[in-house]
Amino acid sequence: MTVAWAVQSRGGDALRPASAAKAIHDVVVITRRNIIRMVRIPEVLVLSLVQPIVFVLLFAYLFAGSFALPGAGGPEAYREYMMPGFFAQTIAFATASNSSVGMANDLKSGMVDRFRSLPMSRGALLTGRALADLVQNSAVIVVMVGCALIVGWRIHHGFLHAAAAFGLLLLLGYALSWVGVLIGLSVRAPEAAATGNFLWLFPLTFLSNAFVAPSTLPAPLRFAAEWNPLTATVQAARDLFGNPGLHATTGWPAEHAVVVSVAWSVVIALACRALAVRRYRASAA
Which of the two residues, 20 and 261, has the higher pLDDT score? 261
8-27 per-position pLDDT tens digit:
434 333 334 447 788 888 88
Q: Which residues lie below 8 Å from residue 111, measured CB to CB, with a gap of 6+? A: 105
Q: How crowded is residue 155: how many other Cβ atoms within 10 Å of its Cβ?
A: 18
Q: What is the average pLDDT score of the chain?
A: 81
171-224 per-position pLDDT tens digit:
999 999 999 999 988 888 888 887 888 888 888 988 888 877 787 788 888 889
Rounded to two decimals, the pTM is: 0.84
Q: How crowded is residue 60: how many other Cβ atoms within 10 Å of its Cβ?
A: 22
Amino acid found at 184: G
pLDDT tier, 170 (very low <50, low <70, confident <90, very high otherwise): very high
d(CA 103, CA 6): 21
